[in-house]
Amino acid sequence: MIKYIVTFFFLFFITNGNTNNKEKIIENLKNTQNLDFNFEQNINGKIENGNCTIQYPKKIFCEYAKSNNKILVSNGKSLVIKTITSYYRYPLNKTPLNFILDKDFLINKINVLDERIVDGSLINYTIKEKDSEINVFFNKETYDLIGWQNTDVYQNFNITFLSSIRKNRIIPKNIFKLPIQN
């Protein structure tokens, strides 16, 4: 009998710990209207970095640090990647960012998914949606979104790490205006 009681309490505390992480991540997402951060992105071994601003739902503006003036912008419907020599425009709903930039979608998925603790400091959820698999990572101490990995529209493996995260700042309204093609 004592064995069953010990097992019950062990399972209760393990489940309660996971639920607690999930609840804290969801609460943090609900309280986040926007965030800006530095990023490092690895696409098939090519590393780029820069700074991004996200405004929920589905808006993002990123400036890359390289000298080709690369930017990535979503106005919530379209996604544009522009450099000095190129301009690409995609429907946002055809990209994995459509899911990553939608906090309500993330909250709904996190509610039903099991978490995985990575290296004792990251909380990972694997989201499978519309033939896509997206791994989102949260900091176990702050419950902030700190990265994701996915396959992009060209079937490139993409890993993005976030740092220097700041939330709920005043941001210029026109920052998410799509650039025009040269």
Q: Give tens-digit pLDDT for 146-163.
A: 999 998 777 889 999 999
List, in order, residues 6 or more apart from 22 with CB less than 8 Å away. Answer: 110, 111, 115
pLDDT score of 13 more than 80: no
Instruction: State the residue range of the domain holding 133.
Output: 2-176
What is the edge-to-edge ordering of all strands in the sheet holding 87-91?
87-91, 78-82, 71-75, 59-64, 46-55, 34-43, 157-167, 145-151, 132-139, 122-129, 116-118
Share of the chain above pLDDT 70, in %: 90
pLDDT score of 45 more than 70: yes
Give the CATH number for residue 131: 2.50.20.10
The answer as to whether 181 is a domain residue is no
Going from the C-alpha of 114 to that of each of 22, 137, 158, the distances in angstroms are 9, 13, 22
The least confident of 99-113, 134-148, 151-165 is: 151-165
H helix intervals, the chain? 2-30, 97-100, 103-112
The answer as to whether 117 is a domain residue is yes
Give the total number of structural domains in the chain.
1
The answer as to whether 168 is a domain residue is yes
Share of the chain above pLDDT 90, in %: 80
Q: 163, exposed or middle or buried, with CB in 10 Å at 0-12, 13-18, 19+?
A: exposed
The answer as to whether 182 is a domain residue is no
Mean pLDDT of 116-145: 94
The answer as to whether 136 is a domain residue is yes
pLDDT score of 7 more than 80: no
The answer as to whether 160 is a domain residue is yes
ω into residue 172 within 30 of 0, thus cis?
A: no
